[in-house]
Structure formats: structure tokens, C-alpha cells
Structure 1
């Protein structure tokens, strides 16, 4: 369960491994030129949003995306190990050939040497709740899998395709609802 407070979420810009469809996990892969451009496009979309702090994964692809966004906002930029992508064990660096791996991981089938989904989810949700417990209007810049426990906790489901550098505003449920809602910025 998440503290019911609006927040922004942004997946990092594109990397070569995203393009090649490789598991990145906690490998520190740089943004490619397209990913840098995507981060600047997200910056333009977010420039008029009332963001008062940016929280980012320590992995360079997320951190660089956050730094680009912050060129306009000039707010506190806070790094968090807890916002890092999942550790995918033996799959890191491998091509994504089995479309069921991610779904099976969320169901408890942990790849060899990988972080189990339950521990990963707890790590992410604890970090997000710590962020939401502040007085800030936060932007969280992280990773694709980091959004999965958030999706689960907010009852929005896994069917949202969160593209690279596509900002989303998460709205807590209205008084008569149980589900959060998402608003894609610039869509």
C-alpha cells in the first residue's frame, strides 16, 4: 500500500541495451544519444509541473535522466539505492528471448542469482513511501521494473506500457474509489 499522495514517475531514457532488448538489471548502462534526446523531451513536458524534489536511482541511466530534468527545475536531487532496477542475476546482459520471464518472476519464479520479486517489491514500496512521507511534490526517476510494484500497490495493473522517458503523474484514489489513476504528461 502506498501513502495516498500525488507523485510523478519517469522511466529513464533509452540505452543501447534497451534497444537490443537485453536485461540490464543493475548493470550501469549509459543512456544512448536517443535516450538523452528523450530525457530532454521529458524535461520540456515537465518544465511547468510543480515538482519540488527529484528522487533517482543511483544507476547512471536514471541519474543522467534526472539530471537533465533538473536543469530546469533546479530542486534537490536525491539518489536512492532502493530505487535501483531489480538484480536479474544470470540474465543480466542476456537477450530477452522468453516473453514470460518477467511475468513468471512476478509470480515467484526467480531467475538464477536474481533478486526475488517479493524482496524487490518491498524495497521499492518502502522507498516510495519514504519519499511520499515528505512534504515534497516528488518526481521519481527509475526503471521499468520499479514501476511494477507501484502499479500493483495502486491497483492500476501491469498493462501500462511505460516507455522510456514518458512522464506520468500518479493520482491517489478519489474518496469513492479504490484505484489510483495515471495521467501521462504530454499525451
Structure 2
């Protein structure tokens, strides 16, 4: 017996939970972390456990992360709670590189470059391009599956904007945003664990 086309479409849909890493000391100090490998603090580890408890209410097949330690440790904490081993660390999921502003507070960076054009920084367009590329690859490689990808606030916002066409809100530490790809393209289901009533679909 052949499955109905609608059933095949549902079976091939992919759901991805985009999770921001837990808090770091640089988050508390308001510093631009970017590609700097700053570890979680104790509050960040607690936030990761809270996110894990929420994710444990559902079923997940695959767990990946950015290779930076604040993301990979958040993923490992989540994996320990839900019974998944992190399978990969993807450089495409790393935070935006802030160039010479990296390590500065937002105010310090503004004092030098009030237009936000930091020397050596990665462009917002390049950030969105690599984030969306990785999201598409994850979906292509995991049809019909549910994934957790632990990354960073900037790249998650860039990915969400690439889907909806609208700016995304600030992503909270350990915030969970759900996106789905089905036969109609990508859609955003939740941002920071808050349901989205409407979402523009982009293929």
C-alpha cells in the first residue's frame, strides 16, 4: 500500500529546536563574545538544565551544536537530561565574529565605532547566509526527524529573520526557538519558547 502524498510530506518534515547557550560571565558584563571561547558560568549551567527539562517533554532524534564551549557544554547538559549524545560541532553555527570589538562591552565598542562598523567584523549578511546554509543542510540530512541545535543569540536571530523576513527579538540565554521545514518551506513556530501565531514561509 502506497502512502498518501500528504502523509509522505508530513513524514519528511523536519523540526529544529534552536537553543541559545546558557549565560557566561561575559554575558553578565555585556561584552561582545563572538568567536571568543568563553565558558558557561554556574547560572548558565542551571539555565541549560532548565531548557533540557522543557525539551524532555518532547521526542528528539539528533543533537548538534556550535563548537564553542559555551554552546557545546549547553548541548551536553541537555543531552545528559534527554538521553542524546551530541553528534557534531558545526562551525557554521558559531556566533558572529566581531573583529576588533570582540571582548569589549557594547558601550566601549560604541565609543570607538558608533556606527557599529567594527573593523574585521563579519557582516550580518554573511552570518545569515552561513546560518541558513547549515539549517538547510541539517534538514536535508535528517528528513522526518527532530533536531536540537545549540548555538548563539546572533546567529539564531539571523536565521529566524531569514525565514520570516522580519527582525527577531533578542534571544534569551537558553531560550528555545522552534522552526519547521515541510513541503511549503520553513516556518517559525516559537521564539524563546513563545508560540508565534503567524509566520511567513520562505522556501
Normalising by the residue count of structure 2, what TM-score does the alignment of the two structures yield?
0.77
Structure 2: tracts of 5 or more residues without a match: 1-11, 196-203
- Structure 1 distance, partners of 2:168, 2:136, is 23
Mapping of residues 144-163 of structure 1, within 5 Å: 144-155=153-164, 157-163=166-172
Which entry has the higher C-alpha Rg, 1 or 2? 2
Q: CA RMSD in A?
A: 2.7
**1:88 and 2:98 aligned:** yes
**1:12 and 2:21 aligned:** yes
2:66 paired residue among 54, 57, 73 = 57
Normalising by the residue count of structure 1, what TM-score does the alignment of the two structures yield?
0.83
Other structure's SS at 1:180 match: strand
- Structure 1 distance, partners of 2:126, 2:26, is 25
Partner of 1:137: 146
- Taking CA–CA contacts closer than 8 Å with sequence separation of 6 or more, which of the two structures ends up with the larger relative contact order? 1
- For residues 30-86 of structure 1, the C-alpha deviation after alignment (integer angstroms, 9 at most, x for no partner) is 101110110111111111221110110000000000000000233341211111111
Offset of residue 167 of structure 1: 1.6
Partner of 2:89: 79
Offset of residue 147 of structure 1: 1.0
Other structure's SS at 1:126 match: helix
Partner of 2:49: 40
Q: Determine if contact 1:88/1:111 at 8 Å carries over to the other structure.
A: yes
Q: Determine if contact 1:170/1:180 at 8 Å carries over to the other structure.
A: yes
Partner of 1:166: 175
- Structure 2 distance, partners of 1:115, 1:178, is 25
